[in-house]
Amino acid sequence: MELQLEPLHLPSDNERPFVIAGPCSAESEEQVLTTARQLASKGCHMFRAGVWKPRTKPGGFEGKGEEALPWLKKVKEETGMLVATEVAKPEHVELCLKYGIDLLWIGARTSANPFAMQDLADALKGVDIPVFVKNPVNPDLELWIGAMERINQAGIKKMAAIHRGFSSYDKKIYRNLPMWQIPIELHRRIPELPIICDPSHIGGRRDLIAPLCQQAMDLGFDGLIVESHCNPDEAWSDAKQQVTPDVLDYILSLLVVRDETVTTEGIRQLRHQIDDLDNNLMDLLSKRMRICREIGQYKKEHNMTVLQPARYNEILEKRGAQGALCGMSSEFVAHVFELIHEESVRQQIEIVNQK
């Protein structure tokens, strides 16, 4: 099913993508207004702040709730910025409408749940407000599109998708793996749907905000949603990934916003997919080596030889044959595994000889 969409018409400056910025959570009236004033003075047109916070574990700060909505209203009145917050339940929608919130987004944990999405869609029937839908925590494009279809079928026409990365057990580089091929495929399937990048939740670290924003621009994303806090180190949630309005402005000033030209855009997207896959390869390789080192420890404790020829042969044969089935030459794949094996043997020899 196609989405029935209308243009968003959100405020932005010509030379920059549209940006929604603000703290992860609304903590106090002072924190909200101080951050908002600083962002507005940097030319920011849209303000975000989480009022209801979906937390992984119970007992933490779960958001100020309704108490924080007048603060957002004040931001809007004082600075003229549009204000946005996350909704996860029908009563959140009702309250946002009551306090004049301009834009709603649906979080990654909610968009993964069709029951919750349908409840939200029902609450949004007959309402005219832009709704942005974050990707579900799991890398499932159909689930993401399905979540947006429910909202769209309720009559919401001003929509955008927010790419915030995908949960993974392994959090080496990113807090949430970007898996750029998924938003790229979404764009191919629904070209008229704007896509916004959330570098804060993908990266989980301040130093990754700038490169992730640039990567989103290189891929032709339409906008950014970035967490910014007047005092990031003291933030009550997501402290490590928030930047001050000053730093955000600097990051945005360095962004190269490229024109989409038909001839080079295709190859650029493909190269980004390659880069992403290479990152995954590196990740997998280092995980594999970690396990090899554990095996090295076991061999040492049980006085076994590092080289186990039967096991080595089994790997080369099995992967070589698999390579042929995957459209590669079996010699090439066997060679790759010879090299990998060589490195694991080297590392295990180091381990068994450790005093």
Residue 186, H or E segment: helix 181-189
One of 238, 245, 252, 323 touching Mn ion (CB under 5 A): 238
Positive or negative torsion for Cα 165, 199, 210, 254: positive
Type of residue numbered 246: D
Closest CB to ligand PEP: residue number: 107
Residue 60, classified by CB atoms within 10 Å of its CB into exposed (0-12), middle (13-18) or buried (19+), is exposed
Residue 67: other Cβ atoms inside 10 A: 12
* C-alpha to C-alpha distance for 105 and 93, rounded to whole angstroms: 10
Closest distance between ligand PEP and the C-beta of residue 110, in Å? 7
Interface with Mn ion in residues 100-129 (CB under 5 A)? none
108 binding ligand PEP? (CB under 6 A): yes
Determine if 54 is a binding residue for ligand PEP (CB under 6 A). Answer: yes
Q: What binding mask, one character per residue, do residues 60-99 give for Mn ion by CB under 5 A, x or -?
A: ----------------------------------------
Residue 107 engages ligand PEP in binding (rule: CB under 6 A): yes
Count of residues of this chain found to bind Mn ion when the rule CB under 5 A is applied: 2
Binds 108: which of Mn ion, ligand PEP, none (CB < 5-8 Å by kind)? ligand PEP
Among ligand PEP, Mn ion, none, partner that 45 touches (CB below 5 to 8 angstroms by kind): none
Member of 76, 92, 163, 164 binding ligand PEP (CB under 6 A): 164
Coil vs helix vs strand at 162: strand
209 touches Mn ion by CB under 5 A = no
**Separation between Cα atoms, residue 194 and residue 76, nearest integer Å:** 24
**Of 152 and 176, which CB lies nearer to Mn ion in the complex structure?**
176
Q: Is 24 in the site for Mn ion (CB under 5 A)?
A: yes
For Cα atoms 204, 207, 209, give the angle at the middle one, nearest 5 degrees. 65
Residue 134 touches ligand PEP, criterion: CB under 6 A: yes
Assess contact for 76 and 40: CB atoms under 8 A. Answer: no
What percentage of the chain's residues is helix, strand, coil (to nearest 5)?
Answer: 55, 10, 35
Report the nearest approach of Mn ion to the CB of residue 43 (Å).
Answer: 23
23 binds ligand PEP (CB under 6 A): no
| Other CB atoms within 10 Å distance of the CB of residue 259 | 7
201 alpha carbon, distance to own chain's centre: 5
Indicate the length of the chain as a whole number: 355
50 lines the binding site for ligand PEP (CB under 6 A): yes
Under the criterion CB under 6 A, does residue 175 sit at the interface with ligand PEP? no
**What is the contact surface with ligand PEP in residues (CB under 6 A)?**
24, 50, 54, 107-108, 134, 164, 201
**What is the contact surface with Mn ion in residues (CB under 5 A)?**
24, 238
